[in-house]
Amino acid sequence: MKDIYKILDGLNIQYKIYDHPPFYTCEEADLFYSHLDSGKIKNLFLRNAKGNQHFLLLLESHKSLNISDFGQSISQKGLGFASEERLAKYLGLKKGSVSPFGLINDESHDVCVYIDKDILLHDSLLFHPNVNTSTLQISRDDFQKFIGSTGNLILYHDFA
């Protein structure tokens, strides 16, 4: 697996590392980060009904997602959560570690990324560095620099 820190350093992206026990829910993470004035992001990995398209969704952690409504909005029927096997295959990640940084492992750029427009309202954002025992805090501008460097299709969406 590629080293996210080397890639971020190569892009001159500044980050701060917070080590912590494993988090498996946004609620656990939000409690730990309550003192940080940063966007807290929920990362979801989905696949379509045929299993031939995959989607990484980044939305504010307090928002809920109606998968069916989202699927309709992007003309995809039968969206659902991708399996752990698909998560490993496409992003090189394990359950509980879903992150946009996993895109460094998607060399064929198969995953389409949908980013909640509201996360861009935050000056800084929090993401796992491909493991759920650490979190990186990066600026919004550096996040956009990273996401633009991946080669994946990036779309901004209004997750109400």
pLDDT confidence bin for 88, thresholds 50/70/90: very high
β-pair partners for 134: 19
**Per-domain residue ranges for the chain?**
4-157
Percent share of the chain, pLDDT over 90: 82
pLDDT confidence bin for 1, thresholds 50/70/90: low
Q: Are strands 134-139 and 16-19 parallel, antiparallel or unpaired?
A: antiparallel
Distance of CA 118 to the CA centre of its chain: 14
Burial of 107 (0-12, 13-18, 19+ CB in 10 A): exposed
Burial of 44 (0-12, 13-18, 19+ CB in 10 A): middle
117 has a pLDDT exceeding 80: yes
**Average pLDDT of the segment spanning 7-19:** 96
pLDDT confidence bin for 31, thresholds 50/70/90: confident
**Average pLDDT of the segment spanning 48-68:** 95
In degrees rounded to 5, what are phi and psi of residue 92? Answer: 65, 30
The CATH number of domain 4-157 is 3.90.960.10: yes
Q: What is the pLDDT, as a whole number, of residue 35?
A: 83
